[in-house]
Amino acid sequence: RAALADLERGGAAVAAATEAGVGGEIARLWLAGDDAAAGIRTALAAVVDDAVASLETAAGARAEAAFGNPVRQQIAAIESATARAAGTGQHAAARLAGHMLRLVETVDAVETRVREVETRFAVRARDSLTRRSAGLIRQLQAGAIDVAKLLAIKIGDDEWAGYLKGDRSVFARAVAARLDRDTARQIGRLFEHDTEFRADATRFCDIFEALLKRLLGDDDGDALATMMLSSDLGKIYVTIGDAAGRHPPAR
C-alpha cells in the first residue's frame, strides 16, 4: 500500500508538473512561434520519459493496472493538447504572416497609384502653365516691338528675316542688348512725360507680373521666376520697373 500510495502521489505530481510546464510552454508559444513549439516538444518528451521510467520501476502488476494506465492516459492527453496548441499557434502565426504580406502588398499598390496620379496631375498642371505662360510671353514679345519703336531702336535685316521666319524674340533681344545707362534714363523720361510710352510700358509690366505670379504658383516657381527675370523680356521689365517704381511679385 505504501508503494501504491507513493506511486499515486508520484503520478499525480508528474501529471501536475507536466500540465503546469506544458501550460507555461503553450503561453510562450504564442510569443515565440516555432522555436517555442520545438521547446515544448522537447520538454514534454523528457516528462514522458521520466513518467514511463517511474511506472516501469513501480512494484506489482496491480499497481501498474490501477495507476499506470490513468497516468499514461493523462500524459497522452496533455501531449495531444500540447500538439494541438502548437499547431494552432503555428496556424495563427502563418495566418497573421499572410495578412501582413497582403497588407504590405496593398500599401505598395496604393503608394504606386498615388505616385501615378500625382505624376499625371503634375504633367497636366505643367502643360497648362506652359500654355498660359506662352500666351503671356507672346504678348510681351509684341509689347517689345512697341518699346523698340518708342525707343527708336532699329532692327537689322538679319533680325527682320528671323522675325518673319517666326523668331518672335527678335525685338526683345534688340531692346535688351541696348539697355545701358543712357537707355535706362531715356525710359525714365519717356515713362514720365510720354503718355503713349507709359501706357505701353505699364501694360508690359502688368503682363510680365501676371506671368511671374503664374510661375510662382508652380512647385519650381522660384527657379522659373528667376529664369524669366534673367531673360531678355525680364531685363526689359526690370528696366521699365525701375522707372515706374515697380518690383517683381514674390510668393
Distances (CA, A) of 193 to 198, 199, 240, 243: 8, 11, 14, 12
Helix (H) or strand (E) run with residue 248 in it: none
Q: Tell me, yes or no, whether 115 lies in a domain.
A: no
Map grid coordinates 503561453 to a residue. Answer: 27
Q: Which of 109, 141, 162 is the last residue of a domain?
A: 109
Distance CA 219, CA 126 (A): 10
Answer whether residue 237 is part of any domain. Answer: yes
**pLDDT confidence bin for 59, thresholds 50/70/90:** very low
What is d(CA 71, CA 17) in angstroms, rounded to the nearest whole number?
A: 12
DSSP labels, 202-227: HHHHHHHHHHHHHHHTSTTHHHHHHH
Q: Which pLDDT band, with edges at 50, 70 and 90, does 207 fall under?
A: very high
Q: How many domains does the chain divide into?
A: 2
Q: 51, 81, 109 — which closes off a domain?
A: 109
pLDDT (tens digit per residue) in 232-244: 999 999 999 998 9
d(CA 79, CA 25): 12
Q: Could you tell me the residue range of the domain that residue 73 belongs to?
A: 2-109
Higher-pLDDT residue of 227 and 50 is 227
Specify if 67 maps to a domain: yes
Is the same domain home to 162 and 104?
no
User: What is the rounded CA–CA span in Å between residue 216 and residue 205?
Assistant: 16
Q: Is residue 145 part of a domain?
A: no
Which of the residue ranges 45-54, 86-95, 146-155, 177-186 has the most confident prediction, judged by mean pLDDT? 177-186
Q: How far apart (Å, rounded) are the C-alpha atoms in residues 175 and 160?
A: 14
Q: Would the pTM count as exceeding 0.85? A: no
Burial (CB count <10 Å: 0-12, 13-18, 19+), residue 117: exposed
In a shared domain, residues 20 and 90: yes
Q: Tell whether the model's pLDDT for residue 192 goes beyond 50.
A: yes
- Mean pLDDT of the region 159-183: 87
Whether 14 maps to a domain, the answer reads yes
- Residue 178: the pLDDT is 87
* 164 lies in the same domain as 65: no
**pLDDT for residue 189 is more than 70:** yes
| Residue 217 is assigned to a structural domain of this protein | yes
Distances from the Cα of 242 to the Cαs of 128, 189, 192, 248, 250, in angstroms?
Answer: 31, 12, 12, 10, 17
42 in a domain, yes or no?
A: yes
Is the confidence at residue 143, as pLDDT, over 50? Answer: yes
Lowest mean pLDDT among 51-65, 146-160, 175-189: 51-65
Instruction: Say if 132 falls within a structural domain.
Output: no
Grid cell in block for residue 221: 516657381
Specify the pLDDT at position 22: 46
Given 78, 109, 140, the domain boundary residue is: 109
Residues 82 and 6 in one domain: yes
164 shares a domain with 105: no
